[in-house]
Amino acid sequence: MKDKISFAVIGCGHQGAYHLERLLGHPRTEVLAVVDPRQEARDKAPSGVAKFGDIEELLRMADSERPDAVVVAVPTPLHEEVTRACLEQDMAVLLEKPMAHDLKTAVGLVEASRHGFLRIGHVERFNPAVVAAREMMDKPLFVEGHRLGPYSARMDQVDVVLDLMIHDLDIMLQWTGDDVAQVRAAGAAVITGQLDIANARIEFSKGCVANLTASRASMEPMRKLRVFCVSQYLSLDLKKGEVKRIQKKGDTIEAFTRGGESDGYDAMTAQLSAFLDELTGKKVDIKVARPEEAYDALKLAVSVREAVMKQAQRAGLKWT
């Protein structure tokens, strides 16, 4: 087995630059190439790394020189085209979320993944607060989530449901392992003409209810989840990677905090390590999202958007 897995990063913008940094610093990876049409983006890679302006240059590399795997961090509408091209050349793919901008495209990627190795970067699965909460949680009954932040021009590719809320939708599907019974939602287009603020109330078949809010039109960032369980209350600060638990044991009420920023844990590095472990056949505790799981999160996100549109029609609004 090779000592290191070779990579290319396709798309070196905001998110791609984070992936590049982790790949360059990981002891089990080497970066052979970056691909981006913008010179300033390619220049984020150090000397010695091949720098291509077009994916065709990467695909034309000789088999012996082509990387083992790629990170795909291009704009969402390009996900399918780029991912398919890499899978067809036997390169494993770590694709940024959301996997696609619509369900039809996502189905195509699920089909393509049956002929290659594809995982989707729902990185909040590896947030230390989410990891700790999963280990201590009993049956969740109600979850309240707030994922808020200021607007950035890079957010124009997709609406706030696909950009931000989809993180919490994926977490909810993982926590409940349940089917969705009902979705109600409301939202507003404050800045971009797309949904910039959305709230969804999601009821699951076995009784759990989630009330999730996502915004890219807020002044201050917030990433929190509050979980009411059968025998405990959990409060997660995803920004700090911290979870607080309150529960009663006997005649005493116990409260403790776990996680936090000081332990040096990095969710994106943990996701990369899990991707490498799966790729090389090792056992993993937390799996990177499989295409079918990413499809389920996208399907729920589409249901939220549809519910928002129905509410907008009742309110006499005509934006889409």
Q: Would you state the pLDDT for residue 260? A: 62
**257-264 long-range contacts, CB within 8 A, separation 24+:** 258/132, 258/136, 259/128, 259/129, 259/132, 260/128, 263/128
Instruction: Dump pLDDT digits (tens) for 1-53.
Output: 578 999 999 999 999 999 999 999 999 999 999 999 999 999 999 999 999 99
Tell me the residue ranges of DSSP E strands in 97-238: 118-121, 140-148, 180-188, 197-204, 209-215, 222-229, 232-237
Domains and CATH numbers, the chain: 5-121 (3.40.50.720), 125-268+298-314 (3.30.360.10)
- Cα-based angle 108, 91, 12 (whole degrees, multiple of 5): 85
Structure tokens at 229: 């369980």
Residue 298 to residue 106: CA distance in whole angstroms = 8
Structure tokens at 82: 């780029």
SS3 of 27, please? coil
pLDDT tens per residue, the chain (320 residues)?
578 999 999 999 999 999 999 999 999 999 999 999 999 999 999 999 999 999 999 999 988 899 999 999 999 999 999 999 999 999 999 999 999 999 999 999 999 999 999 999 999 999 999 999 998 899 999 999 999 999 887 656 789 999 999 999 999 999 999 999 999 999 999 888 889 999 999 999 999 999 999 999 999 999 999 999 998 999 999 999 999 999 988 777 878 787 765 467 899 999 999 999 999 999 999 999 999 999 999 999 999 999 999 998 888 877 55
Q: Would you state the pLDDT for residue 257? A: 81
Amino acid at 137: M
Provide the Cα torsion 155, 110, 112, 50; round to 10°.
Answer: 30
Q: Would you state the pLDDT for residue 249? A: 81
pTM score of the predicted model = 0.93
Tokens 């005649």 belong to residue = 251
Q: Would you state the pLDDT for residue 272? A: 98
